[in-house]
Amino acid sequence: MDKTISILEALIERIGRLSSWSIFFLIVIISIDVIMRYLFGKSLIWLVELEVYFFAFSFILIGAYAFKHDKHVRVDLFYSKWSTKRKAWVDFFGTLIFLLPWTIISSLVSWRYAMTSFKLGESSAQAGGLPALYILKFSMVFGFGLLFLQGLVVLFKSLLIIRTGSEK
């Protein structure tokens, strides 16, 4: 189980670091768009849509990475004062009851949404917009899948802490 956890964490780490580059590209694309709009009075719809894509990629694909590094939103009113074992119990049940079912349902719904888009060959509704809108929609499936995998890691680590009292 330790090897599986390590492999999953390494995968989440690599994808998170790679996905973080989407923020850099987002900044570059927005800068180009602003320069074109204010200096040349011209805006390209595909460039604006690319901004949406990279924003979505940065949000969707980095979620599991943020969760791995405990940078997600959590109400720490009580949690921060609890013992490691009690936190592990909360993490275990929270992951099992809330996170994993939510990621499974979201993945299934996103999969149908993306497959419909793919089958239709959906592209932007705007003239001059981007083709292959399904790429953006499949990123949701991938992002929820990564979050599910990180949820499994949290579940296994919580079990380890509950059983032994420590992570290793």
Residue-range domain boundaries for the chain: 2-164
**pTM of the predicted model as reported, rounded to 2 decimal places:** 0.87
**Pick from 75, 57, 74, 61: which is nearest to 14 by CA?**
61
10 Å CB burial of residue 120 (0-12, 13-18, 19+) is: exposed
CA 10 to chain centre: 15
pLDDT tens for the chain, 168 residues long, are 688 888 999 999 999 999 999 999 999 999 999 999 999 999 899 999 999 999 999 989 999 999 999 887 777 778 888 889 999 999 999 999 999 999 999 999 999 999 999 999 999 988 888 999 999 999 999 999 999 999 999 999 999 999 987 766
CA angle (80, 153, 135) in 5-degree steps:
110
Work out the widest C-alpha separation in the chain, in whole angstroms.
Answer: 64
Structure tokens at 120: 């239709």
Number of H helices, E strands in the chain: 7, 0
